[in-house]
Amino acid sequence: DAMVIQNPRYQVTQFGKPVTLSCSQTLNHNVMYWYQQKSSQAPKLLFHYYDKDFNNEADTPDNFQSRRPNTSFCFLDIRSPGLGDAAMYLCATSRDRRSGLAGGTDTQYFGPGTRLTVL
């Protein structure tokens, strides 16, 4: 059963044309993350939501935005994609171990990723 779903799996866009990637989860986890992963590199955290609270990494460009309308869904908006933004974008979820919620382990569950190509 799919637990973290990302759509689309492949996205092709033109330079400067806005794009939105989506992520949904069936785990009821309170934390959702967006990572950028380039070939042979570690996933780079862009931002995350802790419940409704948005947490941006200091080095995430303003070009990247996110929305979390409810617990299950999270979106990544790239306002003006550049060639350097071509990458795999990973969504992940976790349940904070400190929250006292059942099943909280901080283990991250990843989606399959969306591969973004910028022409």
Partner 1 sequence: AQSVSQHNHHVILSEAASLELGCNYSYGGTVNLFWYVQYPGQHLQLLLKYFSGDPLVKGIKGFEAEFIKSKFSFNLRKPSVQWSDTAEYFCAVISGGSYIPTFGRGTSLIVHP
Site of interaction with partner 1 (CB under 8 A): 4, 31, 33, 40-43, 45, 48, 50, 90, 92, 94, 96-98, 105-113
DSSP state letter for 27 = S
Nearer Cβ to partner 1, position 42 or 83? 42
Pairing of strands 44-50, 19-25: unpaired
Rounded to a whole number of angstroms, the minimum distance from the CB of residue 34 to partner 1 is 12
Q: Which is nearer to partner 1, 63 or 107 (CB)?
A: 107
How many angstroms separate the CA atoms of 12 and 10, rounded?
7
Q: Which is nearer to partner 1, 62 or 98 (CB)?
A: 98
Show Cβ contacts of residue 8 under 8 Å, excluding neighbours closer than 6 positions: 21, 114
